[in-house]
Amino acid sequence: MFLEDTVNHSQRKGWIEIICGSMFSGKTEELIRRLKRAQFAKQRVEIFKPQVDTRYDDEEVVSHDANRIHSTPVPAASNIPLLADQVDVVGIDEAQFFDMELVAVCNKLANRGARVIIAGLDMDFLGKPFGPIPHLMATAEYVTKVHAVCVKCGNLANHSHRKTDDTGLVVLGEKDEYEPLCRSCFHQAQQLSS
């Protein structure tokens, strides 16, 4: 008997996809596009976001361009597997706001056969790796890094520069609080603020 004779070919194969980058780079837009395509293909889809993210809507995932898709807000990553049973595709937005348990949760879902699509900031406002995203990038099968446009010079931006004096790690905000900057403009802004 050959090994392939013992494999159940009908078993679903799961994987993890990461969509990361700075603020205003189109992460949520790309997440919504992938999830809507899965829904169009009649796949069972569940979408989650952290309960703390209420910027545009309490329940829906909404992009800066106002595209939206229904989601389930959850207080912690541990809630996701309980609500994602028997689904084909799991979408998670603003993943940087979850704790490190999200890494184990996503790997468990992928191991069960789900396609897990995660969108989130890869760096915080100081330019340091943010939350579980770097760890998820290491275990993901697919990583897409999207870029905004630097508001100072027009180059590709990969930093989310905070324009306020708030030093808390998690500060929800939009264009009044943050701007996308390239590496050079970000470092110039950091030097001016220190």
Residue 62's pLDDT is what?
A: 55
Report whether pLDDT(12) > 90.
no
Tokens 């990038």 — which residue? 137
Band of the pLDDT at 68, cuts 50, 70, 90? low
The whole-model pTM stands at 0.85
CB 105 within 8 A of CB 77: yes
Whether 60 shows a pLDDT value over 90: the answer reads: no
Show the tokens assigned to 142.
């697919």
Q: How many CB atoms lie within 10 A of CB 9?
A: 5
Q: Active-site residue numbers?
A: 94
The winner for highest mean pLDDT among 59-63, 67-71, 107-111 is 107-111
3-class DSSP state of 73: strand
Over the stretch 119-153, which tens digit does the pLDDT of each residue have?
999 999 999 999 999 999 999 999 999 999 999 99
pLDDT of residue 61: 59
Q: State the pLDDT at residue 17.
A: 98
Identity at 4, one-letter amino acid code: E
- Which residue ranges form the domains of the chain, and what is each CATH number? 12-146 (3.40.50.300)
Q: What percent of the chain has pLDDT over 70?
A: 80
Q: Bigger pLDDT: 166 or 76?
A: 76
Q: Residue 36: CB partners within 8 Å, gap ≥ 6?
A: 69
Whether pLDDT at 6 is above 80 = no
The per-residue b/e assignment along 141-179, b for 16 or more CB within 10 angstroms, e otherwise, is: eebbebbbebebeeeebbbbbbeeeeeeeeeeeeeebbb
Question: Using CA atoms, how far apart are residues 46 and 89, in angstroms rounded to an integer?
Answer: 6
Identity of the amino acid at 124: D
Q: Number of helices and strands (H, E) in the chain?
A: 6, 12
β-bridge partners, 17: 117, 142
Average pLDDT (83-90) is 93
